[in-house]
Structure 1
């Protein structure tokens, strides 16, 4: 483990040794050799003290934050103004508009997912599928829910914005959220949300769909979580996940300034093929990497800002890069900024 200790103990004076732990085994492939990929990273998003580093598994390339905050200390890395503290209802209201693009989008969503969004034009159901990046973005917006509603669990539901969307499509919704502030906000929207960690949740029913949107990379034991959620699905039910893709163009271009590294909140960033392998090992079937479509700007433009703040580099082509990633990601999922995957529990 000499490689894994190369990041050392420098930069952690604000943290006691009891609050930090080393990663010694890759969660994706079980490898025990690591190489330093990034080190000396400060938290530019939340201002959490410390300098952080990522190790890459020598076997599969998946990234691990190490040292990382322990499960008992992890709440300290989430600032009071974290994104999930916004009202879910306000977030949902913002995800609509009156422009012709929104009218087309709502027409497609109403036909595809059974919602009653407005304003809407019926021609959207015909035109939007021809615009691949937009169509894929809208499918992602509803997390590729099946046309027939059922019961859905959102793990790490935050303020409940997705649960509100799913409920508008006829689904019976439930969430898990460890952050008490976010969980309380979701409950104010009339949602059933358990304020607990995934390890503490004891479902009373099985689910047709379980979703995790940018949650997997925050888990201390992601491999155990996959096995746990498999048992929560009804036979034939599906698991949907999205998480940052460290093999995408954004990380290749920006390196240590890639926004989605997000230390010390992101603990584990597996390569897309390793996400598939982890799902297979947990018993899932019919595993598919989905195309993300539009959405790269949300990580590329902050990466441009990080490059300026850390290195004084002024990048003027960030918008063009985001557009290129959106187009390429509409064809090749592994080039996208996110890994989006669907897997099924056997019948």
Structure 2
């Protein structure tokens, strides 16, 4: 599949498929030295701290709710509020919410611009990189919310994160689900493909393969129902549709309705434990 970077560069990229594990991957892709420029744009909202229009406003309004939802999901599955790491924390909003709720929370953010905002404005505890992480004591919870698909050194990073997770700790990984109805409807214009920032494109099978490869098991798979609406909104914009907001409501609703039968929501949250 040939997919255009609608958000920033307007360049096109190819998505390939692995026959063994069903993982899709962007290929070729920018290396770690050159990927930064594909994040440094006004349209990449998760690394910006400004409101520039109604789409940004909707994103930030929904984010306030989903931050509390994520916290509730973690609290309901944790016996105590211990040590938490949000890997790929962006501007640090979720770390701050966790800190205010009693967690000893830390963030890690590879993007220098976002990390600087997290440090100076959000004022969270930041761990610089994987090398610095290796000196930390283990965590009760590690979260990656829409981050795994961005990581260049996927296997190495997963191994390091698991090595810093307590034996009974929980790993929360949220990723777009390429088998959702909105993905099938929009095809190469599905906004959650987000090339070249998304290096990988998961489904339930490829996530299970990754977990088992690292001697882990998936204990729960939860829907992220708001994602279908926001992704549909961007996808309609990329497709050049009129009445984007009304169409996004319809597309998001229909995607969530279809997912009730097979759990193929636009995004899925995988809760993972070590075996």
In the superposition, the TM-score normalised over structure 1's length comes to: 0.68
1:285–1:85 distance in 2 versus 1, CA, 3 Å: closer
Over alpha carbons, which structure has the higher Rg? 1
Asked if structure 1 preserves the Cα contact closer than 8 Å seen for 2:95 and 2:107, the reply is yes
Corresponding residue SS for 1:158: coil
Q: Cα 1:167–1:338, aligned 2, differ >3 Å: closer, same or farther?
A: same
- What's the counterpart of residue 171 of structure 1? 103
SS at match of 1:54: strand
Structure 1 segment 262-301 matched on structure 2, within 5 A? 262-301=194-233
Distance 1:158 1:314, change over 3 A: closer
Shift of residue 240, structure 1, vs aligned partner: 0.2
Q: Which runs of 5+ in 2 are unaligned?
A: 51-56
For residue 85 of structure 2, give the secondary structure of its aligned residue in structure 1.
strand
Give the alignment partner of residue 321 of structure 1, picking from 242, 251, 259.
251
| Aligned-pair CA distance for 1:67 | 0.6
Q: How far apart are the structure 2 equivalents of 1:75 and 1:194?
A: 19
- Structure 1 stretches of 4+ moved >6 Å: 312-316
CA contact (8 A) 2:218 2:270 kept: no
Q: How many angstroms does 1:303 deviate by?
A: 0.8
1:55 corresponds to = 16
In 2: Cα distance, 1:325 partner to 1:163 partner:
30
Maintained 8 Å contact 1:226/1:279: no
Q: TM-score, normalised by structure 2?
A: 0.84
Q: Partner of 2:30 in structure 1?
A: 69
Tell me which residue corresponds to 2:189. 257
Distance 1:304 1:237, change over 3 A: same
Q: How many residues align?
A: 261
User: Which fold has the larger relative contact order, with Cα–Cα distance below 8 Å and residues 6 or more apart in sequence?
Assistant: 2
Give the deviation of 1:223 after TM superposition: 2.5
Residues 18-75 of structure 1: per-residue CA shift (max 9 Å, x gap) = xxxxxxxxxxxxxxxxxxxx11x332101x2532111122344321101111122211
2-structure distance, mates of 1:204, 1:343: 21
Superposed CA RMSD in Å reads 2.9
* Counterpart-to-counterpart distance in 2, 1:255 and 1:62: 17
